[in-house]
Amino acid sequence: MRVLVVEDEPDLQAQVVRALQEAGYSVDAASDGEEGQFLGDTEPYDAVVLDLGLPKVDGITVLNHWRNNDRNMPVLILTARETWNEKVSGFDAGADDYLTKPFHMEELLARVRAIIRRSAGHASPMLECGPVTLDTRTGKVMINTAAVTLTAHELKVLSYFMHHQGRVVSQTELIEHIYDQDFDRDSNTIEVFIARLRKKLLPELIKTHRGRGYSMSCEDQDT
């Protein structure tokens, strides 16, 4: 899962980016509204954390621009104060949730998890596929009652499939959602990650659709 952070306060931006990375997300950051808007226009994000008070272009204008251009990724806005009118403007512009500064990082992480899973159509934080479960709160993966240890990249790949079950995901889509923009992307590694997930979880968990991509179909997984 890939997240964009648009925040102009350097310390806060660094803290949010680090917390999201430690929680297993690939993260891009922008320090003003212009750069943030551009990234949101051109890169596919699973969620955006958007400050409202930004240099160059303010957050509400950025959000309005995205929604008018069918950029539908879930957006969590950060507001400086308990001002009800900023929140109303934010929701009217198409925000999915808000957080008032100062906030606890755990709350930001919980809200980001929630908007990502809701936008993918999941109400519960526990994602299931046959005997495989992923707790999105902890990143813990189980097969039946046994815990499975995955590397950070394997977990990113599994999490993307668990959020988008039953749909064919192309290799390009997968790469765009598991790596941040500065990462040296190598499509060969995707096949390696998928082979390892099949080995560690279930051989038939992820299907290959030749020339189209991969899918995780969970109806077939009942043991």
Which residues of the shown chain bind Ca ion in the complex (CB under 5 A)? 8, 51, 53
Q: Which residue's CB is nearer to Ca ion, number 36 or number 130?
A: 36
Q: Which residue's CB is nearer to Ca ion, number 33 or number 130?
A: 33
Structure tokens belonging to residue 177 = 């959602």
Cα separation values, 22 from 16, 72, 97, 220, Å: 10, 25, 22, 33
Q: What residue is closest to Ca ion based on CB?
A: 53
CB of 83 to Ca ion, least distance (A): 14
CB of 80 to Ca ion, least distance (A): 7
Measured CA angle at 125 (ends 120, 129), to 5 deg: 70
Q: Which residue's CB is nearer to Ca ion, number 53 or number 125?
A: 53
Residue with tokens 């189209």: 212
* Residue 5 bridge partners (DSSP): 29, 49
Q: Which residue's CB is nearer to Ca ion, number 8 or number 173?
A: 8
Residue with tokens 């240099």: 55
Instruction: Indicate the helix (H) or strand (E) that contains 215.
Output: strand 213-216
Q: How far apart are CA 82 and CA 184, in angstroms?
A: 41
CB of 53 to Ca ion, least distance (A): 4
CB of 199 to Ca ion, least distance (A): 46
